[in-house]
Chains A and B, each alone.
Chain A
C-alpha cells in the first residue's frame, strides 16, 4: 500500500524513518511521528470500526483525546490492549491493531443488523422490553445482549509491564503546553518558581503547531520550540510530554499519568511503562485549551465527517490529506483556516457557512485564494455508507427554520466546525462552579475553588494576543506570590488574523419527509431523537437524561457531545443552557490504565509481609506457613507426606507428653513505663492491677467502650514503673493506638509512655510436662522449681551469654514458659532450645497444634473474640471487677448483655466420639425442622483432642450455662453434615488448671 494521501513537503513527521505496521491484517507504512490514525489516513483508510449500538461504520472524527470513533485493539510485544484510541497511539515498528466491536470483519459486520432495526432501539428501549416471559431477561435476552456489548477484548493474561508512582511537589503545575501553558510556565520559571509543565501529546505547543501566527518575529511553532528548549534547561522546571493531568483532587493534589513506553515497540527492561504522578501544587494553571464542537446533521456519523480542526492537524502535523474533495461546514471562522490550508496545499475545498454575510480578515483571505464559499448554507445529510461520497446541502433561511431545495455536492470528506468548547474538566473537578458564557455558547470556569487559574481557550479566550498577555501576567504574578522574586517577562508582539463572531446555529433541521439520524454521541449512537424521547418521558435532570440515553457515557466521556446535548435539551425545554446545567465532571479526564493507578504493589507485594527473626529456620525445617494478618507463621512443620491434620496432631501430642517450642514473636508487645503505669492498666483492663507485685505477670481482658471484648493477654511488671504488655497478633496495632488515645486525649494527667516492642523481642514458648527440665538446662543459674519460678512468675537470666526474659505463662494449658531475647539473637535462642531440648524429645509446633491445645483447654482466642462477644460470653466474667470502673464497663449493664439466656462459650463433643464437627456449623435442637430452622449457636473452633483422642469443639451457644449436658445437633448443610452432639464444659482438659501451676 502506498501513502496516497501523504504530502511530502509539510508536517512534523520524520520522513527518514519509515515504519511498517498492520491494521486488520493488512501491512501499511507510515513515518516516525505518526499516530496510528494519521498513518491510516495517509493510506486512505477511513473505515476503522463499528459503533456501539447500531454497529454503523466508523471512521476518524478527531485527532486526539476527544476521538469518539477510532477505537482499536492494540497488539504490542505479545500483549494485547483493548480500546486504544488510534488518534492517540503513536506509530512504532511492528505495531498491529484490529477493529473492535465488529464481527466477522469491519467491512461486513453482522451486528449491523441492529442498524436496520434501529427504529426499534430508541433510548430506554431495553427498559421497556425483554420483560416477558418472566425470567427470560437473564436466561435468554441478557446473555445475547452481553455478547454484543463491550468494545475491545480483554485478555485474562497477567500484565507483564511495570507501573511506578511518584510523589512530587511544585509551586506551579501547568496542565497543557499550548500558548497559555508555555507563556505562563516561562514567566513563572523565569521568576524562580518550581514549575511542572505537562503536555498529554508527544509534541509541545498545542495549537501553535497548526495555526498561522507570528510571535516576536517567529512562527508560532518556532516560538514554542524555543521556549520549550529553554525551559528544559532550567533546574527549577520539570517538562513532561505524553503526560495527562487527569484528576484534580482535594487540597491541590493533582494526578498525572505519564506514558513512557506506550509509543515504543516494547518497554525497556527495569523501566516502567507508565508512571503515575501524585502532584501537590501550590498553584495550578489550567491551560487545557478547547475542543471543536460538531455541527449536527443527517448521517453526521458517516466516515469522512470529521472536525475541521482535526483535518487541519492531520495536514499540518502529519502532512496527511483527510480528503481530496473536502467540504467545509462551519458556523465560524475556524473552518476557513482549515480550508485555507487545503487550498495552500493544492486541494480545492468548498466552504458552507451557516452565517449570512460574515466579514473578517480570515474570510477575506479565503476569498483572495478563490475558495468557493456558500453563505447561509448547511449540510442536510452526508451520503455514502462506509465513506462520504457526497453531501446533501441546502440554503437555510435567516431564522434557520426553513431549508431551501436540496442539492448535492460531491465530496470525500466533510470537515465540520461548530465553534469551540473550553476544556474545563480540571477546573470543575477542583470544585469550581462553572458559568455559562453566552458569547461562546459554552461553560467557562467561575470563581476559583482551590488554587486554580484557567487560561487561554480553556477560559474562553480565543485570541492569541490576549491569551499570551494574560498568561505571561498570571505566570509572573503567581510565582511572585510564592517566591517573592520580581523577575518579570513581558509578552512578545503577536500577529494573528482577526476573526468575527460565530453563529449560534448548530443543529440542522430535518427536511420534510426525511428520517435521517442526527447523532450527538457518536460512540454510543445517541441521536437527537433519543434525547427528545427522554424528555418526553419526563426525565428532567440532565443527569437522568444522560443515564437514560447514555449520552456522553462512552469512552470519550462526551467530549464532543455533551454541550450539543445540553443545547438540545435547553432548546426543547425552552430554557437557557445554564439552567439545564451540565453533568458533573469527574476524574479521570481520559481513561487511565488501572495498573498505573496501582503501581508496584502487585503480586506477592500487594501487601507487605511480616516475618519473625526465626523465619529462615522455619523455612529450613519444612514449616508450612499461614497468614496471620500480614504475618507469616508456621502452621505446622511437615515431616514426610504428613497432612496438616496428622502433623498438627503429632506436634500437639508431643506438647502434652514431652515438650514443644512455638514461635510467639508475632504476639504484640507494648513496653509501658511511668509513675502512673499501674493506674493506666487498671483503667484499661477489666480486672484489678494496682497490687500486681514486681516480677509477676497477670492475665487481662480489655473492652471497647461498647462493652465488646477488644483483646486479651498477659502483662508483666518488670520493675516498679515498668510493665511489659502482650496483645494478640491481630490486635497489636489497635491496642497501641487505643492506649495512646486515652493517654493523650482522655487522661493526659497520667505520666505513662507506651511504645511497641513487638520486634525488639523474639519469643519462644516452651510448653509440656518436660518444659521445666528443659528450662533448667537452658538456664543452669536460675531456680526453675515451682517455688523459684511459680506460675505467672518472671525472671531475667543469661542464655549462653545472651540476655533473656523468662515468663512463666501458658496458652497451651500445659506447664509452659515463654523466653524472650533481643531479635538479633532470636535464631540463636531457637537453635539452643532445639539443641538442648533433644534429650526431652522437643519438637517445634505451629499455630494449628497451638489452637488444638488451647481449644481442648477451653482457652478463648480470635474465633471467640471476634468483636461481637462480651466477657460473659467467653466465661471471663470472673475477671470483671465489680469494685473499680474501667473502659466499657458501663455498657455491660445493658439489657441484652445481662439477659438470663445470654450466649456463652461451651464445649461440644460428638456423641459417636468420632465425627469431627466442621467449624462454622450451627447448633439446632431439631435436625429435621423445616427452614428457617432456629439456630441456638455456632461452632467457633474445632480440634481433635489429643488428650482424649476424639473430636472436640468450642461453640458460642445461647443460654450456654444451662445447656451443659444437653443433646443437640451440629448442622453443616454446606457439607451435608448433621452430627448429634453433647454440650460439655468448655474446659475439656484439666478443668481446674492444675498443670499450668504444677
Chain B
C-alpha cells in the first residue's frame, strides 16, 4: 500500500485516496478555439511516462482535496506532493 503525503493532512495510506491520472494534461479554456489535435491530446492521448510521472490523487477519505504527486512509475517511489493550487 502506497504511503502518500497529503500536503494538507500528512502521511496517509493509499486507501484514503483515489487516483486521478496524468496531472500534466491541461483543460483547454472554455469558450476558446481548440484545434482537433489539442482536444484529442487533452481527452485521449497520454505519455504515461516510465520514470517520474506527475499525477493527480484525491484525498477522498481525508480532506477531499485533489493533490499533485510526482511518482516513479517504475519503482513507485514518491518524490514530492503539492497542493492543487501549486505547480509540480
The closest CB in chain B to the CB of A249 belongs to: B1
* Contact (Cβ within 8 A) B43 A745: no
Complex interface residues of chain A between 449 and 499 (CB less than 8 A to chain B): 449
Bound together, the chains give a CA A740 to CA B66 distance in angstroms of 8
Q: Is B20 an interface residue (CB 8 A)?
A: yes
CB distance from A450 to the nearest CB of B (A): 9
* Contact (Cβ within 8 A) B66 A745: yes
Q: Give the residue of A251, A746, A884 whose beta carbon is less than 8 angstroms from that of B2.
A: A251
Q: Give the residue of A167, A705, A740 whose beta carbon is less than 8 angstroms from that of B27.
A: A705
* B interface footprint on A873-894 (CB within 8 Å = 1, 0 otherwise): 0000000000011100011000
Residues from chain A with Cβ under 8 Å of B49 in the complex? none
* Contact (Cβ within 8 A) A737 B58: yes
Complex interface residues of chain B between 1 and 38 (CB less than 8 A to chain A): 1-3, 13, 18, 20, 27-28, 30-31, 34
* B interface footprint on A705-744 (CB within 8 Å = 1, 0 otherwise): 1100000000000000000000000000000010011001
The closest CB in chain B to the CB of A450 belongs to: B77
Please indicate which of the listed interface residues A250, A744, A745 has the most CB atoms of chain B within 10 Å of its own CB.
A745
The closest CB in chain B to the CB of A251 belongs to: B3
Interface residues in B, total, Cβ within 8 A = 26
Residues from chain B with Cβ under 8 Å of A884 in the complex? 31
CB distance from A430 to the nearest CB of B (A): 11
Q: Give the residue of A252, A683, A740 whose beta carbon is less than 8 angstroms from that of B58.
A: A740
* Contact (Cβ within 8 A) B60 A280: no
Bound together, the chains give a CA A884 to CA B31 distance in angstroms of 7
Bound together, the chains give a CA A251 to CA B5 distance in angstroms of 12
CB distance from B2 to the nearest CB of A (A): 6
Residues from chain B with Cβ under 8 Å of A280 in the complex? 3, 13
Q: Give the residue of B39, B56, B58, B64 whose beta carbon is less than 8 angstroms from that of A891.
A: B39
Residues from chain B with Cβ under 8 Å of A431 in the complex? 75
* Contact (Cβ within 8 A) A748 B1: no
Q: Is A278 an interface residue (CB 8 A)?
A: yes
* B interface footprint on A89-101 (CB within 8 Å = 1, 0 otherwise): 0000000000000
Q: A250-B76, A705-B27, A741-B66 are in contact. Are A748 and B3 (CB under 8 A)?
A: no
Q: Is A253 an interface residue (CB 8 A)?
A: yes
The closest CB in chain A to the CB of B33 belongs to: A890
* Contact (Cβ within 8 A) A253 B56: no
Residues from chain A with Cβ under 8 Å of B31 in the complex? 884-885
CB distance from B22 to the nearest CB of A (A): 12
* Contact (Cβ within 8 A) A250 B2: yes
* Contact (Cβ within 8 A) B34 A890: yes
* Contact (Cβ within 8 A) A885 B30: yes
Bound together, the chains give a CA A904 to CA B2 distance in angstroms of 44
Bound together, the chains give a CA A449 to CA B34 distance in angstroms of 45
Q: Is B79 an interface residue (CB 8 A)?
A: no
Bound together, the chains give a CA A891 to CA B42 distance in angstroms of 11
Bound together, the chains give a CA A751 to CA B3 distance in angstroms of 31
* Contact (Cβ within 8 A) A748 B30: no
CB distance from A897 to the nearest CB of B (A): 13
* Contact (Cβ within 8 A) A744 B3: no
Residues from chain B with Cβ under 8 Å of A737 in the complex? 18, 58, 60
Bound together, the chains give a CA A740 to CA B44 distance in angstroms of 21
Residues from chain A with Cβ under 8 Å of B65 in the complex? 744
Size bracket, chain A contacts: 20 to 34
Residues from chain A with Cβ under 8 Å of B1 in the complex? 249-251, 253, 278
Please indicate which of the listed interface residues B1, B18, B34, B75 has the most CB atoms of chain A within 10 Å of its own CB.
B1
Please indicate which of the listed interface residues B28, B64, B75, B78 has the most CB atoms of chain A within 10 Å of its own CB.
B64
CB distance from B67 to the nearest CB of A (A): 9
Bound together, the chains give a CA A373 to CA B24 distance in angstroms of 72
CB distance from B20 to the nearest CB of A (A): 7
* B interface footprint on A417-446 (CB within 8 Å = 1, 0 otherwise): 000000000000001000000000000000
Please indicate which of the listed interface residues A280, A744, A884 has the most CB atoms of chain B within 10 Å of its own CB.
A744
* B interface footprint on A837-852 (CB within 8 Å = 1, 0 otherwise): 0000000000000000
* Contact (Cβ within 8 A) B28 A890: yes
Q: A885-B30, A891-B39 are in contact. Are A745 and B84 (CB under 8 A)?
A: yes
Residues from chain A with Cβ under 8 Å of B84 in the complex? 744-745, 748
Q: A253-B1, A705-B27, A748-B85 are in contact. Are A741 and B58 (CB under 8 A)?
A: yes
Residues from chain A with Cβ under 8 Å of B3 in the complex? 250-253, 280
Residues from chain A with Cβ under 8 Å of B56 in the complex? 745
CB distance from A168 to the nearest CB of B (A): 12
CB distance from B41 to the nearest CB of A (A): 12
Residues from chain B with Cβ under 8 Å of A252 in the complex? 3
Bound together, the chains give a CA A737 to CA B20 distance in angstroms of 10
Residues from chain A with Cβ under 8 Å of B18 in the complex? 737
Bound together, the chains give a CA A167 to CA B3 distance in angstroms of 13
Q: Give the residue of B20, B27, B60, B64 whose beta carbon is less than 8 angstroms from that of A746.
A: B27
Residues from chain B with Cβ under 8 Å of A745 in the complex? 56, 66, 84
The closest CB in chain B to the CB of A890 belongs to: B39
Please indicate which of the listed interface residues B18, B58, B66, B75 has the most CB atoms of chain A within 10 Å of its own CB.
B66
* A interface footprint on B47-88 (CB within 8 Å = 1, 0 otherwise): 000000000101010001110000000011010000011000
CB distance from B44 to the nearest CB of A (A): 8
* Contact (Cβ within 8 A) B34 A251: no
Bound together, the chains give a CA A737 to CA B61 distance in angstroms of 11
CB distance from B57 to the nearest CB of A (A): 11
Q: A251-B76, A705-B42, A740-B58 are in contact. Are A683 and B30 (CB under 8 A)?
A: yes
The closest CB in chain B to the CB of A755 belongs to: B64
Bound together, the chains give a CA A884 to CA B85 distance in angstroms of 26
Residues from chain B with Cβ under 8 Å of A683 in the complex? 30
Complex interface residues of chain A between 262 and 285 (CB less than 8 A to chain B): 278, 280
* B interface footprint on A121-164 (CB within 8 Å = 1, 0 otherwise): 00000000000000000000000000000000000000000000
Those 4 A-B pairs whose CB atoms lie nearest each other, nearest first: A251-B3, A744-B84, A885-B30, A885-B31
21 sampled A-B residue pairs with Cβ under 8 A: A250-B1, A250-B76, A251-B3, A252-B3, A253-B1, A253-B3, A683-B30, A705-B42, A705-B43, A740-B64, A741-B20, A741-B58, A744-B65, A744-B66, A744-B84, A744-B85, A748-B85, A884-B31, A885-B30, A890-B28, A890-B39
Given contacts A278-B1, A706-B44, A737-B60, 18 further A-B contacts (CB under 8 A): A250-B1, A250-B2, A251-B1, A253-B1, A280-B3, A280-B13, A449-B75, A705-B27, A740-B58, A740-B64, A741-B58, A741-B66, A744-B66, A748-B84, A885-B30, A886-B30, A890-B39, A891-B43
